Structure 1
């Protein structure tokens, strides 16, 4: 029997279908899921280093950008009809209705940060391509294991044209807020020696 390539095609979902599946109870309410390029992805549990880095970074950004932007934690971003990720941190334009009528779209996103402890490859490859295709100009992956920040810029259809890896002693400014100077070390959990 000849098996064709079509026999192995995956079913891609739209954001509208994804929401409908949730509404009718297909997903367990406890499941953490994201829709990335039509694929429903189960998100792994977050470790203590991941949680600490996310809290530290969100607090730092909130203190530095003040009322110039809103800082969202693990909230959906509507990239397109097939992707609705929930980044660890998104710095978005302030909306007078606090996004009660829609999720932030790429034109309303200033910066997306994913914190990686066990998800580095996924964040650098799969998510980076989805964010680049949607035109997210500033995407960072905070690698807590290696204490580095991967900075992705210059989005294109085939991915980001620039990836710069900075060590924990470096400083960085978001593209949208060039006067905000962030010490990468302040985003990372402190090193606790035994």
Structure 2
């Protein structure tokens, strides 16, 4: 006998949220599964906050930097909450729904205990949704993994940075210092 896992739809997930079934639980929907999210440690929380502030300064009104807010990936039945989502400045639209892949410039995850999930499940989900750029800031190894060029559910290009600068694909004139993302 084989075991089949029931997958939740986005509508199912939203109904659970609306009726309070997921109150007081820090979860996200990934590939139809409700996944518990580990609590953020102090370094993770402050580093992502510092990066959000830094990116807001650099990007000004060109984008919105959303901290730990849901994005919706309809094709994969996912509603993850990346640490930072840099999205189109469509504030009125986001009052009615979360950003969809076509609204996302790039995503950033800070990883300590969540590194394997961020480099595997989330990377594949974001690539399948054709999000053009995804960064994982690995706090343990003090490096940034940059993923670009989504193709068939994965990223064709992967860079590992420990120093220097990076220019986001969507904003090639913006220079981001790697050290600022790693050290605040």
TM-score w.r.t. the length of structure 1 is: 0.91
Among 141, 149, 157, the alignment partner of 1:162 is: 157
Among 67, 74, 84, the alignment partner of 1:73 is: 67
Among 33, 46, 51, the alignment partner of 1:39 is: 33
- The aligned residue for residue 58 of structure 1 is 52
Measured after TM superposition, the shift of residue 157 of structure 1 is 2.4
- Give the RMSD, CA atoms, in angstroms: 1.2
Among 172, 180, 183, the alignment partner of 1:178 is: 172
- Runs of 4+ aligned residues of structure 1 deviating over 2 Å after TM superposition are none
1:119 paired to 2:119: no
**Bigger helix share:** 2
- More displaced stretch, 95-104 vs 13-22: 95-104
Describe the superposition over 1:140-184 as per-residue Cα deviations: whole angstroms up to 9, x where unpaired: 0011111100000111223111211111x2211110011111111
- Note if contact 1:132-1:159 (Cα within 8 Å) is conserved in structure 2: yes
- Note if contact 1:53-1:144 (Cα within 8 Å) is conserved in structure 2: no
Counterpart CA distance in 2 for 1:158 and 1:187 is 26
- More displaced stretch, 156-165 vs 133-142: 156-165
Among 16, 20, 26, the alignment partner of 1:25 is: 20
Measured after TM superposition, the shift of residue 26 of structure 1 is 2.0
Describe the superposition over 1:48-102 as per-residue Cα deviations: whole angstroms up to 9, x where unpaired: 1101110111011100011101110011111115011111000100115151011
1:130 paired to 2:125: yes
Counterpart CA distance in 1 for 2:17 and 2:79 is 13
Counterpart CA distance in 2 for 1:79 and 1:181 is 28
| Count of residue correspondences | 183
- When Rg is computed on C-alpha atoms for both structures, the one with the higher figure is 1
Measured after TM superposition, the shift of residue 24 of structure 1 is 2.1
Q: Which runs of 5+ in 1 are unaligned?
A: none
Counterpart CA distance in 1 for 2:144 and 2:135 is 7
TM-score w.r.t. the length of structure 2 is: 0.95
- Note if contact 1:31-1:42 (Cα within 8 Å) is conserved in structure 2: yes
